[in-house]
Amino acid sequence: MRKFWLLFSQAVTVFLAAYFVVATLKPQWLNQRPSLNAVSVLEAPASGSPKTGPVGSFSAAAKVASAAVVSIITSKAAANHPYADDPWFKFFFGDQAGRSEPQVGLGSGVIVSPSGYILTNNHVVESADDIEVVLNDSRRARAKIIGTDPDTDLAILKIDLDKLPIIVLGNSDALQVGDPVLAIGNPFGVGQTVTGGIVSALGRNQLGINTFENFIQTDAAINPGNSGGALVDTQGNLLGINTAIYSRSGGSMGIGFAIPVSTARQVLEGIVKDGQVTRGWIGVEPQDLNPELAETFNIKAKNGVIITGVLQNGPAAQAGIRPGDVIVAVDGKSVANVTELLGAVAALKPGVAAPMTVLRKDSKTEIAVTPGKRQRPRLPR
């Protein structure tokens, strides 16, 4: 029995010694499993979960949104001299005298529908004789103008292509100053470019750019060629249409303006469904309230828009609004200046009464006004 136990102990000793040598010199022979930390790193890609960029990267948002942002190339026929083809004119001034080159423009747009509808700026396609759209995947197509809205500087184009990438419309009303945003477009024709920044301000108006102004201000670089491009959030959702910049040099100075997607959605739906954008109108002459006007009309209000004139038999006059009234809210939305009043009234549906909060001397009252349809101003001939 003692001999057997001695042999067993010697065998165990030899086995342990061999295991120690192999584990030290050739650990791979033992087919060791990696540690818990190694499993989480090495096996994560095999699980099928998508790879993400470094912390703070917006690469995923840029990839999603960029596919739906297009370049728009416009051309306008040359305006030649009326005698450019006259033989005597050519004899004295040369064959090329009086002839002009076609005007070529460059902008951006955003595909918002599988049917091929594209949002862009009106000033990008205005007066164009030919419009070509270039997708991010290099496909090209001729575009036709479905409708324009100069009051907001928006236009709707349409192309006929299959399997179009579309952008998701976000919620611009939920934006806050400081939120990160990306601007995507084709600045200076160098190719699609993504720039980043934050929302610098909201509700910018009285800039003299459009009739209806409610701009998102951003410091994301916007340059010529970016007009009509996308302003997106960190998920790649559309927040606005890049429209204008403040610049002394012609390039970006960190002050860019985008039309909120809430406005763009209204224009898109109006043009696609009805062929035009329908806006409300009440027939008043408003002015921003100031101490001089308050003293003239003997009112104590400090905020709101004072009505200095009312169109006879217009919607406001029929509802009982009078000169000297101060409108402080339209359909429950407060208004502090003429631009806000204009936008709030324009958002009303013609023919449907809406409440307006009015200050008349020392009393506050609500007046139901049934707006009419705002007509586009006629251009002088």
Q: Which residues are catalytic?
A: 123, 153, 227
Lay out the sheet containing 130-134: strands in order across. Answer: 140-142, 130-134, 69-76, 103-111, 117-121, 154-158, 144-149
CB burial readout 104-116, b (16+ within 10 A) else e: ebbbbbbbbeeeb
Instruction: Determine contact, residues 371/345, Cβ cutoff 8 Å.
Output: yes
**Residue 381, SS3 per DSSP:** coil
Looking up tokens 């509700």 gives 203
d(CA 372, CA 381): 26
Looking up tokens 């809205």 gives 149
Nearest Cα residue to 60 out of 211, 264, 197, 232:
232
Which helix (H) or strand (E) element contains residue 261? Answer: helix 261-274
User: Exposed, middle or buried, 341 (CB in 10 Å: 0-12/13-18/19+)?
Assistant: buried
Token digits for 60? 């995923």
Nearest Cα residue to 133 out of 103, 167, 106:
106
CB burial readout 67-103, b (16+ within 10 A) else e: bbbbbbbbeeeeeeeeebeeeebeeeeeeeebeeeee
Token digits for 135? 């997708």
Nearest Cα residue to 142 out of 163, 125, 154:
125
Looking up tokens 């001729």 gives 142
Which helix (H) or strand (E) element contains residue 108? Answer: strand 103-111
Token digits for 269? 């739906």
CA torsion through residues 187, 118, 236, 179, sign: positive
Nearest Cα residue to 109 out of 76, 133, 75:
133
CA torsion through residues 356, 361, 362, 363, sign: negative
